[in-house]
Structure 1
Amino acid sequence: MAEGDPWRDKAEHEGIPRNSGLYSRHSIVQCENASLEMCTLMNCLGYGPHIRQARRDAYREADRLNNARGTGIITMVTTGSKAEGLTRFLESDVDTMYVVEGIMCLENGVDSDKIPRETTVFTLITGVCYHGHSRLNLLELRGDIIPSIIRDALCEDENGRVLLSSALFVDVDNDRTSAPNVIRHERAGPSLPSSSGPFHTDNVYSLRCHCPVILSRWAERTRHWPPPDIVRKVVTMESFVTPVGFKGSEYQHVEWRICFNTAENELMSSLNNTQVYIYVLLKMVVKDVLKPVKKEITSYTVKNIVLWLAENNPQAQFNESSLFYWLREGLEKLRTAILKIELPYYMIPERNLMEACGLDEGQKCTWVYTITDMMNEGSNTLLRLPRIRKAIISHPEPLAWYNKKRVELELLALNFRNRTEQCMDKNGVINRSDPMHQAILSRIVELVREVHKRMNREGSRLNDLIEIYDMMLM
């Protein structure tokens, strides 16, 4: 990395907001060179545009294959970092949303006449809940067969209106029997986490939602980003409600949270490389430096900071030579959110993402001081991040060689999973004689052996090929 600490400049130089009186031209060039080097490193670490797109395509195909084999009652949608293409095959949880078909939740005042007659309709009652949350009032029970997860979660409020209980909805699903090799974990918000070997999944059951007024308010904001075509696309995309009420609410057992998962996937896909790298680095700061224990701050907090940065600033200023400037801006926004316990939700600004986050005064002060120190450290702050520190040490040749092998292995692993799904019959039996299935597996074994051989040559005594495979994909 280039030396010096000029990334705090705020003069106008080649489209980057800086103060030219603070640093010399030489320091500015150092900052830009360091930013360019960091972008190259991020690409080597698996965050470049090509691998991101390959991951997105693979998970969309996995969803298509799984839904084609399903009963049609539930539709599976991969969301979060996997759908964004920002995490490796075994890195972090897979966020999976299971959408119950035949149900639609409508914003109050929206005409239900165009909804298919067999669809059961609920009305969003938002006025009695915290911003971004709602109760679901049964408008019309349609169809001959109502899914048990819906029927068993119906209840009445104090006025005799039929509501859908979020608490009962989760309980009904939580009572279902899991596959023999799946371990279910304690509920976390709307999620029912589970794991099977190295695979960890956050499972969220949800319902489709149509809320044109909320999306229109979002679309009408004055902005630099996203471009008009993406705004128009987002407005037409599906929304959802998930079974979790506002923390501390007396009625959270009948409250639901309004979400825009697929729209947010589209927005994240339209960020440029510099914006994506800022997001990834800020997530590393939260995970590896702040280390929240009770999810007081999450990657979703960081995502909203980056979305606001993108919307409120000219896109030409987000270039590879300005990475460090915008990373500092992101850290400042994160520090302010912690200090004030306030961060507006990007889709519904009235909802404060930091509200009821459980952050105590001592922890708040510690994190504010830590982030302030990082902002003053300049580019050296990246040495606090284990993955970046290791990459800098091994850069360039060993990292380039290993990254080439790791990226190929990850693409093979994604394709192998999807090919396995294609080779599976209705009873779950896999046709392992399939030539493509065998070819992919053969190349995976060959790649892991290559890495194992070099590791041994350089002094490692790790000989478990499965462990090496897992480590490469984490």
Structure 2
Amino acid sequence: MIVISLDECTRVKRFQQMAEGDIRRIEPGSENVPIYSSLYSRHSRNYVESVSVETCTIMNRLGYGDEIRRWRVEKFRQIDRLYNAELSYVTGITAGSKAEGLTGYLESDWDILFVVDDILCVEAGINIHTITGDMDVFRMDTRVYSGHCRLLQEREASTGNKLIHDALCDDGYGGALLSSSILLDEVGNIAGDGMQQHERAGPSIPGVIEGVLNMDTVYSLRCHCPSILQKWAVRPRHWPSTVIVQKVVSLGAYVTPVGHKGSENKHMEWRICFNTGETELVNNLNGTQVKVYVMLKMILKDILQPQKKEITSYVLKNIILWQAERNPQSQFNAHDFFYWLHDALRELRTAIAQKHVAYYMIPDRNLMAACGLEEALQHKWIADITDMMAEGPRVILRLPKIRQTIVASQEPMLWFSQKKMELEMLFLEGMTTGMESDQNYAISREVQRVSRQVQQRMLLEGSVVNNLDDITMNILMSY
């Protein structure tokens, strides 16, 4: 049971009144958003727009604003460049929410794609004699479930790669197929310095560094599949721009060691993915679209709470990308936040009812195929989402992170949010300085200074925590 004070009740009630209409009138947002919506049939459009703006402001305070998001993106790019200068045989690429600037330093897992160097996979029709360099070349056989392939070795590098060599299997016709499951077993035995590995989850190898920083590593191979990317590029669309489309195409593709769940030969299959391209796409969503995506992830985590990954945040990302492609960018603004959240919830409800979400890059691939969603849970989630859609803006009061911000006194909340961002920026700055002792020493002193400020504020608030390291970690892991 959640127990809140009288003051907190007053703030929640005030927000509910705002959601229900007890607020002043403001100028409406974009007039291009359709006015005929079930959201507006239950709630006045002016009121929905007012709460939309307030909610976007709250999310900015929580660290989802454009400026901090872009700063995080750039810092993780710097971190990748720094660490890749020290790596051999693989290239590390930050992926997921960290690469998209959507989570703080310790707020979620750090996803890293390790791309094995000097290996290239090519689709049918590519002349391998045009491929220069001493590298292993594999031909992609896509005659499996859409978005997946098998890899047939066509050329072997003179130096050889033990990791690859040990994962080769006879295809029965004198050729060699690369086994995804064998390679995954091999890389699963490779542990980074100071990392404690956890049980594997699909193609990812989760672990934790120094008991604090959770990481998910996925090994992959570079993939040259221009026909797949060109098919995506020529789709009629509102978004992204032609320049971004061409950049996504230029970033290419990868294959990761995981087959289709329902396949008898999944141990020999690989999934085609576009991690860097998808990061570029998310980084070109505007602030409102990003906030809708983040809110959907909160709803998934705090309300739907899947236990067996029947629905993942990746499914939500694809719903947002389709939403962006199909609608004019000018319609996505702060006033219409709840309109687009309502629209995304409707798409999610349809996806659950049909057990189908088309992969944004390869629409023939169903992201919910063999997802293991049982009928009873399917009906429950459909009912839950229907209730959320009927609630309108008040749905955000179900979300602990948002509710905590609403009920908190504004000044202390803003102060602690600022200190959290200061600490996050210091830690990420420290990761970009490498082993420069003078810089790291200066950053450490600044971290201690900020942590002492928090400690002193906590003493004034009636809390006693003596260990500065505990204060630092708790602040970074908050929200």
**Which of the five TM-score ranges fits, normalised by the shorter chain?**
over 0.9
* Matching residue of 2:151: 136
Q: Is the Cα contact below 8 Å between 1:74 and 1:99 reproduced in 2?
A: yes
* Matching residue of 1:45: 62
Distance 1:153 1:359 in 2: 32
* Matching residue of 1:57: 74
Cα distance change of structure 1 residues 177 and 85 upon mapping to structure 2, 3 Å threshold: closer
**Could you report, residue by residue, the CA deviation over 1:142-164 in whole angstroms, capped at 9, with x for unpaired residues?**
2x212211011011123332110
Residue 69 of structure 1: SS of its match in structure 2? coil
* Matching residue of 1:403: 417
Deviation, structure 1 residue 207: 0.3
1:273-422 superposed matches below 5 A: 273-394=287-408, 396-419=410-433, 421-422=434-435
Distance 1:277 1:26 in 2: 21
5+ residue gaps, structure 1, are: 424-430
Cα distance change of structure 1 residues 138 and 390 upon mapping to structure 2, 3 Å threshold: same
* Matching residue of 1:426: none
Q: Is the Cα contact below 8 Å between 1:56 and 1:83 reproduced in 2?
A: yes
Deviates more, 1:194-203 or 1:111-120: 111-120
The residue type paired with residue 462 of structure 1 is V
Distance 2:257 2:38 in 1: 53
Normalising by structure 1, what TM-score? Answer: 0.92
* Matching residue of 1:102: 118
* Matching residue of 1:124: 140
* Matching residue of 1:171: 185
Match of 1:462 among 456, 462, 465: 465
Cα distance change of structure 1 residues 395 and 223 upon mapping to structure 2, 3 Å threshold: farther
Deviation, structure 1 residue 178: 4.7
* Matching residue of 1:184: 197
Distance 2:54 2:374 in 1: 38
* Matching residue of 1:150: 164
Distance 1:57 1:22 in 2: 37
Match of 1:68 among 85, 91, 95: 85
How many residue pairs get aligned? The number is 455
Q: Is the Cα contact below 8 Å between 2:296 and 2:316 reproduced in 1?
A: yes
Distance 1:35 1:376 in 2: 16
Distance 2:264 2:49 in 1: 52
Match of 1:243 among 257, 261, 265: 257
Deviation, structure 1 residue 16: 1.8
Normalising by structure 2, what TM-score? Answer: 0.91
Q: Is the Cα contact below 8 Å between 1:12 and 1:20 reproduced in 2?
A: no
* Matching residue of 1:211: 225
The residue type paired with residue 137 of structure 1 is L
* Matching residue of 1:440: 443
Deviation, structure 1 residue 465: 2.1
**Could you report, residue by residue, the CA deviation over 1:58-113 in whole angstroms, capped at 9, with x for unpaired residues?**
11111111111122x11111100000000010011110011100100001111223
Cα distance change of structure 1 residues 211 and 383 upon mapping to structure 2, 3 Å threshold: same
Residue 3 of structure 1: SS of its match in structure 2? helix
Deviation, structure 1 residue 23: 5.8
**Could you report, residue by residue, the CA deviation over 1:386-432 in whole angstroms, capped at 9, with x for unpaired residues?**
1001011125322221211111111111011222x242xxxxxxx4x
Distance 1:111 1:270 in 2: 34
5+ residue gaps, structure 2, are: 1-14, 22-27
Deviation, structure 1 residue 141: 1.1
Residue 120 of structure 2: SS of its match in structure 1? strand
The residue type paired with residue 410 of structure 1 is E
Cα distance change of structure 1 residues 13 and 84 upon mapping to structure 2, 3 Å threshold: closer
**Structural RMSD (CA):** 1.9
